[in-house]
Structure 1
């Protein structure tokens, strides 16, 4: 796998702009992929609520479908960048191309991190302290429901320092896991990398371009916050006009129709800039570079 390029911090802004540019190029085509994903998740959740015995299988199915469907949107984004239309069939393109196993393997770092940090918490804090923490949490919930204020003495004796250290380690682990999978999907889909090579290359590229990653996450957070505020207004009006059920469907549909294509487009743009895989992927870029 080729070495990653060293990019300026402003590249993080370019990735996000690239995602928006690709969505603007085909809003209906890419948006419908997000809507299909969102409505399918809602449908599975409804099935689970009607049959509680299916709750865990449905949740597992939603989790497993995530990397496959997101890879499909990444594939559709490349089609749009090349001037071709995005189609609903692209959602399962990674499966048809035989990449399902490698895409699903990108979930392993998340699962391993969850288990490791659970064990670490038990080792650092101890079972008795965790039980005491659970009792304090239960008391705080009861006080909050009664409209009261929690007594600071509830926290006496709890290992606050160890808990803060554990939370810091969890935050660092979360970043590492996210960076391992940041550009793993396009590496698997378009460069033919196996899962481990893709995740290792992704982590190395993100570490090399950590300033651009920070800029991207900062701007993406601001953009998501602004979008959510606008979406709350739209859904609030829709709830008055069409009722709560349709408003929830509208919320899920608009959320997925915008955020998933934008993030897929941003990751596709980041992959092209970080690794310079122009030979492996001849699609033109859909954004202008920011010069600083």
Structure 2
């Protein structure tokens, strides 16, 4: 997608690591050296979201910062802006977003001047946006402006060995923050990761990695301790922790690196945006 469209809409379910996925698209594009800016459109009221996206000038409203403030579209100049839950924005903001996409310019709240922007816009939603259009809750012209390429991110349980590499990477990052050596996954723990259905998807995996790094004092974590951590999750289903998935081709005597080396390298490169140094760090290769 290095030379792909400047507008990309990917439709996903809930809690699928959408921002991570969007950032990987950014990292693998010609805009990788620019900023990556993300905002959840459902988390802010309409007036706050407008000032966040478009910025404002001095005196635009009560409480405005003296001298004004640039919006996220400006801050993403030369890079990528990720608009999560795009279906939640109001009709008024939909019209303003459409103008940004058409004219490639923004106007701060309270200003009479436009500012050119050169950005890639990636959007995500957990709704059926075409149905939202048909029911008149989302502008059809904005939908077709955004929907140049539509992607579906499968849930973590359908992504095979990705969960192992993602967990290894998350543990490495968490342990780095805690100033300790990374906790290693035993072959049994890796089999359990593959068998677990991940109802909370990537967010649950990251949460589990944090708990591993805090609770596990030794150099590695095994199957039983990992079971305890996963079982404590409120969405965990007892059946998912009873027996490993028989479809897994991992054998009990497999080494910690369960995947063929070439496959692991390919996944690491994909997750790191083809940055070989970062991929090597994820794989523990010097």
**TM-score bracket relative to the smaller structure:** under 0.3
Higher relative contact order (CA 8 A, sep 6+): 1
User: Which has a greater percent of strand?
Assistant: 2
TM-score (normalised: structure 2): 0.23
The structure where helix makes up a greater share of residues is 1
